[in-house]
Amino acid sequence: MENTTKTAIAKDLLEIQAVFLRPEEPFTWASGIHSPIYTDNRLILSAPTVRRQVEQAIADTIREHYPVAEMLMGTATAGIAHAALAASLLDLPMGYVRGGNKDHGRQNRIEGRLKSGQKVVVVEDLISTGGSVLEVVDALREAGAEVLGIVSIFTYGMQKSIDRLQQAKVPLHSLTDFDTILDVAAAQGMLTAAQIPQLKKFRDNPSDESWMQSSEQQNITQE
């Protein structure tokens, strides 16, 4: 993804508050981790101008990196709408993968007509540790699909996700990323220069809450 596109998407996500930074008053994730950032890419669907730009960027990324793609598969639930909209632009079939098998009917986990050997691109809204998207990749591979790779709207770029994706041998292309969000937020006065290394420290190890200390506090502690 070109830097200009990454920056433009980052600006859009910050503008509609799909990505919200609050290092001075951290959010609490479901896991209990205190985070300086909250991401809700579902808000993209309610912002038509941003939505068009995001879906076009997803389609362009697939054309560039996965030109032989035969089908898009969204992750449930956040990736479904984006996969459907991008598939429409590309004139490709799409489906989605549930978090688990249905408890009724045919008990499908994969929705949509998937043929064995079909070349598939997974569409995801957000990559954090990579665990959930790799469950989708595994389900598709077990069903006989050839997973070409993943396209996401945003990635934290956590080392855990990088290692997991490399181990699974599945490439990832993201429209924008954590570092670009920080650069744009700093340029717009949403963050101070001192806060950027704090937030990168969170990204490198979310479980280590020492990132919540300001640089001045850290200096005092070290002394």
pLDDT digits (tens, 9 = 90+) for 73-83: 999 999 999 99
pLDDT for 100 equals 63
Alpha carbons 127 and 93: distance in angstroms, whole number: 23
pLDDT for 161 equals 95
Residue 204: count of CB within 10 angstroms of its CB: 13
pLDDT for 218 equals 41
Alpha carbons 58 and 183: distance in angstroms, whole number: 22
Which residue, 154, 50, 44, 140, is CA-closest to 95? 140
Q: Are 184 and 14 in contact (CB under 8 A)?
A: yes
Confidence band for 139, pLDDT divided at 50, 70 and 90 = very high
pLDDT tens column, 161-206: 999 999 999 999 999 999 999 999 999 999 998 899 999 999 999 9
pLDDT tens column, 10-39: 999 999 999 999 999 999 988 888 999 999
Amino acid of residue 10? A
Q: How far is CA 29 from CA 33, 36, 37, 121, 128, in A?
A: 5, 10, 10, 28, 12
The pTM (predicted TM-score) of the whole model is 0.91
